[in-house]
Every structure is written in C-alpha cells, then in structure tokens.
Structure 1
Amino acid sequence: MESERLQRVLGWADPRLLELLRYLGSQMFVDGTFRCVPRSFYQCVVLMVSDAASGVFVPSVYTLTTGKTHQLYQKLMRFMNDCTGSRLQPGSVVCDFEAALIDSVTDQFPHARVIGCLFHFKQVIRRRMMKLRIRPQEISIAMEVGVLDMLTVIVPAHVDPHGINYVSELIMSRCRTEEIEYSAVEWDRFWKYFRRTWINIFPVDVWNVYGMDLGVVSRTNNPLERFNRELNAAICDGVSIPKFG
C-alpha cells in the first residue's frame, strides 16, 4: 500500500514467449502506454525482447499498473522476473528517462546495462530549449547529428566539462558562421539545466553509450513504441479487463 491507497499490478504472458527472456544477456525494452488501459488502471507496461536468432522484436509480458512510483515499479520488475522462474538476466534494458523506472530496473537487474532511449533524450532536450526561448535556428544547429548528441558517444568522464564546453563552442561558432544571433543567456541556463538533470539526476552511463557495440544494441525504444501505438489503435478506450487480457 502506497500513500494509503492499494496499488495493483496485473500481468499476462505467453509461456512460449517467456522462453526468449531466459536467454542470458538478452536485450529488453520496457515502455508504458496509457490510452488502452481499463478504467481502474493507470498504465500498461510492456516488456519486449530482441530475438537474436530471428532479428525480431517480440512483446513478451504485458502488465497493468495503478501508478508509476518507485515501489510499484520494483514490484513490477520482480513480477517480470518471477514469470521466468527468476532466470531473467538481460545484458541491457532500454527504457524511458523516468527515474523511478530506471532505479527499479537497476535494483532488479544489477548486472544489466540500463540505456535511456536516445529518441526521448533528444525530445526532452528540444522541449527544454524551446521552453528557455532559444531561437529555432539555434535549436536546429544543436540537434544536428554530431553536435549535442556527440555527448552520448564520448568517454563518459569527458562529458563534463570538456565535452559540454566543446559542444557549446561549436554551437556558438556555427551561429557566427550562419549569421544567427547567439542566445548567450538562454544557453547558459540550458547548460545549467543539462548538468542538473543529465549528470546529477540521471547518471551519464544511462544516456552515454561509449564502448557499446551499436550494431548489436539498440539505443531507442522505437520498436516497442510502434507496437504500443498499434496496441492503442486495436483496443478501445475504457476496455474491460477480460477483453484487455
């Protein structure tokens, strides 16, 4: 019970698909969707696994939850592990940048590499730039390949201050070259936000993939997000639990 309110986790899994989760070092994807859930629940969290033999991404476990707290996510991760007879030993887990979820995944699977979804990383950063009223032309420069996303592939220890200083100067230089007025005050606020959020709250190792074989490990939750969109389209709003299952 959390905050005097009973929290529930209700899950489904096909025993045949669970076998894919039992492979040592598998790559898993965890993501939540909201629109298709029965009225008494908050979200549906889907666990997908990459089948190395076929190259197919397979949704394997579906869970309904009544919240998204750290304690509830811990129960959820234990439930997913219990489904495989406590034989779930992933090599990596890709998930959204949600502190409670990341902490729970790390607690349950301490030997797995937790990877924050690159798409969401860039999406959140773009929104922050817009909120700080950085000009669209400057944002476009920062979001180009090889500019701000360079911080995700350099040696983690070099991200701050060397990497951040390099990217900041690169954006400034590009603005001068393209005769775009540089928003100095706004960028200063952005980098303070970046250090506070992406170094202090979320460890660099969560969004930096230096040293990983990107031909083997996916950096995004896109396969699972596509599946969730199809799931939402197939299930009516407010569906009953029996029909959902």
Structure 2
Amino acid sequence: MEFIEDSLKIIFWKFMLMSPRLLQVTTSGEKFLHHDSGLGDPKRLIVFATHRNIELLKHCNEWFMDGTFKSCPSIFYQMFTIHVKLMSGKTVPVIYSFLSSKDAATYASLFSVLKEALDGFLPRLIHLDFERAVIAEVSASFPGADIVGCNFHFNQCLWRHIQHEPTLREQYLSNLDCNLNLRMLAALAFVPCKDVRQAFGTLLETEFFRTNMISLSSFVNYFEKTWIGREFGAAVFPLEWWNSYEATRQGIARTNNAVEGWHSAFQRRLGSSNPTFYKLIEQLKLEQGMMEFGVDNTAARGNDTPPKRVYRDRQRRLNELVESYENYDRIEYLTAVAQNIKF
C-alpha cells in the first residue's frame, strides 16, 4: 500500500510541476524554463537554460555531460547536465535537465530538444562517462563530434571489477607487483589506438601474466571483452572512446572531473539528497546567477584558476611520456605510465 501511495504521489507531482511562474524564470526575471514535454508525457522531460546559456552551448566546441541521482527529486530518475569549456579554460553548466529514465529514447528526446535550439551547430568534442545508451544517442545526434570517455571513470570501472573479485582485490592491495601490472592494463589508454591491441598482447606475454593467468583470467577476460574486443566480437566500448593518447598530446581534458566537482559542490549547497523539485529549482536559479557572474568575472580577469600542483606535475609527466612514446620499449612505456595512474 505504501508503495502505491508513493507512486501516486510521484504521478501527482509530475502533473503539478511548473505551474508557479517564479519557477520558470531566473532571479533576475529572465526566462529559465527552456522546454517542458508536458503533463501528458509519461516520460516527462524538463530542460532549464537561459538564452545566454544556449548561446554559450552554440559557441563552445567542447561539451561535458554527466548525470546525478543524489541531487534529483524522487519524481525524476536523474538530473542530467551539460557543461561547456570556455576560452579561458573554465568549465560552466549551461543545461539542466530532468529525465524520467536513462534509456536511449529519453536521451534522444533531450538531444532533439537541444538540436532545435542549436541552428545546425555541432560541437567538436563531447566528454562522457561510460554509459552505452547516452553514448549511442550522442553519436547519432551529433555526428562528427569526437566522443571522449572519461579516463577517471575508465580507471574506476577497472577498480570496481577488481573489488568484485575478493582474491584479486587482496592481491592488488598487498602485492606491489600485482598492483603495478594491473595498472599497466589501465596504461593502455595512453598507447596510440593503432598499437593498443598489440601492446595488450605483449603485456599478456610477460612473466607476471603468464605465471598468474589462472587467478587473473576473469579480470583479463573482462578487460578484453569490454575494452579491447576479440576477433569475432567488438568491444563494448570502442578503443577510440576510452583512449587518451591523442587527448594528452593535444592538451584536451581527459576526465569529467570538473563536472563531477560541480555536482559535488551543488549537492553540498543543496544540503540534502533527493530534495523537492521546488527546492531544487530555487537552488538552480542561484547556481545560474553564480555561473553568469563567474563567466563575466573570468572574461574580465583572464584565465581561470590553474589546477593544483600535484595534478599539474602528473599531467606534465604523462605529457612527456606520450611525446616520447616511440623511444620506449612497450613494456617500459606501460610501466612508466602506470606509475602515474591511481585506482
């Protein structure tokens, strides 16, 4: 009975959303509600963005996309945001959307709404996490855009799989040789795409992997099936989506960390998980004001605050390794890169 009552409440509030005009405008009175699929849509989609936000989206070639569940009211499945990278290097949110699902059709609806406002503009780069439905729809909706999978989440995927195998997890945490060699698999992300499969095979022929293949077989099979692909089966995620070699060479962001940082800060300012829709929109309006101030302030004073020294040093070391790739033996290269990777 309680479940039925909760379900009815969700249906009721989905139908009641957006009636107060104050929820549809920013604190300065500018139109904020960009799209509402309406009361009759069982998968109701609501998108917030000002005219200026859309203009920023249309004039920035690098987008970052991410979803969150903690900050989302229970009447929706997730809040999905799109951020852009300004010329200054600062990353700011410009699209705040509320989705009722994470299936392909829902993402297609969102991207269709955005494309109508873009006047034919297509970004050059789109940064995403490893979620197949959203990646598939991004590829279909924004052809020509290069998809950049988040390297941090790539490493997190590997770490989660290690954690799911208690024996392997214990080996990883207690055996330095095992620790390094598993991170060498992650280091394949910094090998040119054309060489990844060969480097993977070379790594599996090393003494460590040959000696420990029985205990490592499950993890190696997962890695090959998900990230490398087999002779008669494509990888779940193509090499081009998770490879970071060219991104590192060109100075392109390899992670969605700036977006995740925004979500974490937003959650702290919100002060609660799964707030009411009205409370969330009021906070989003404040965020919008801060974003506008930040954009104007950055334009006035120049480049954004640089990253911390520890990250700059790691980036510098990876840059040096990538630029010297051809000078290394493959195993030496993977070893050197792995020393700059953490799970």
Classify the secondary structure of the residue corresponding to 1:22. Answer: helix
1:95 aligns with 2:128: yes
Match of 1:217 in 2: 252
Distance of aligned partners of 1:214 and 1:63 in 2 relative to their CA distance in 1, 3 Å threshold:
farther
Q: Is the CA contact 1:43–1:64 (under 8 Å) kept in the aligned structure 2?
A: yes
Structure 1 or 2, whichever has the larger Rg, is 2
| TM-superposition CA deviations, 1:123-160 (whole Å, max 9, x none) | 1112212323321235521354xx22331122323322
Structure 1 CA distance for aligned equivalents of residues 215 and 154 of structure 2: 19
Letter in 2 for 1:111: G
1:205 aligns with 2:234: no
Q: Is the CA contact 2:247–2:253 (under 8 Å) kept in the aligned structure 1?
A: no
Equivalent residues in 2 for 1:20-59, closer than 5 Å: 20-23=56-59, 26-52=61-87, 54-59=88-93
Cα RMSD after superposing both structures: 2.3
Q: Which runs of 5+ in 1 are unaligned?
A: 176-181
Match of 1:178 in 2: none
Structure 2 CA distance for aligned equivalents of residues 143 and 56 of structure 1: 34
Letter in 2 for 1:124: C
Structure 2 CA distance for aligned equivalents of residues 78 and 131 of structure 1: 38
Letter in 1 for 2:190: V
Q: Which runs of 5+ in 2 are unaligned?
A: 1-40, 230-234, 282-343
Match of 1:179 in 2: none
Distance of aligned partners of 1:159 and 1:213 in 2 relative to their CA distance in 1, 3 Å threshold:
closer
Structure 1 CA distance for aligned equivalents of residues 51 and 135 of structure 2: 26
- Count of equivalent residues: 228
| TM-superposition CA deviations, 1:95-149 (whole Å, max 9, x none) | 11000011011111110110111001011112212323321235521354xx223
Structure 2 CA distance for aligned equivalents of residues 189 and 232 of structure 1: 37
Match of 1:156 in 2: 193
Distance of aligned partners of 1:153 and 1:6 in 2 relative to their CA distance in 1, 3 Å threshold:
same
Once the two structures are aligned, what percentage of the paired residues are identical?
Answer: 27
Length-normalised TM-score, structure 1: 0.84
Q: Is the CA contact 1:122–1:143 (under 8 Å) kept in the aligned structure 2?
A: no
Q: Is the CA contact 1:94–1:117 (under 8 Å) kept in the aligned structure 2?
A: yes
Distance of aligned partners of 1:156 and 1:238 in 2 relative to their CA distance in 1, 3 Å threshold:
closer
Distance of aligned partners of 1:109 and 1:16 in 2 relative to their CA distance in 1, 3 Å threshold:
same
Letter in 1 for 2:133: A
Distance of aligned partners of 1:171 and 1:243 in 2 relative to their CA distance in 1, 3 Å threshold:
farther
Structure 2 CA distance for aligned equivalents of residues 224 and 171 of structure 1: 40
Letter in 2 for 1:94: H
1:192 aligns with 2:228: no
Q: Is the CA contact 1:34–1:42 (under 8 Å) kept in the aligned structure 2?
A: yes
Structure 2 CA distance for aligned equivalents of residues 169 and 95 of structure 1: 33
Task: Name the structure where strand makes up a greater proportion of residues.
Answer: 1
Extract structure 1 runs of 4+ deviating beyond 6 A.
Answer: none
Distance of aligned partners of 1:171 and 1:62 in 2 relative to their CA distance in 1, 3 Å threshold:
farther
Q: Is the CA contact 2:64–2:126 (under 8 Å) kept in the aligned structure 1?
A: yes
Q: Is the CA contact 2:248–2:254 (under 8 Å) kept in the aligned structure 1?
A: no
Letter in 2 for 1:118: N
CA drift at 1:188? 2.2
Say which structure, 1 or 2, has more relative contact order (CA 8 Å, 6+ apart): 1
Structure 1 CA distance for aligned equivalents of residues 163 and 207 of structure 2: 16
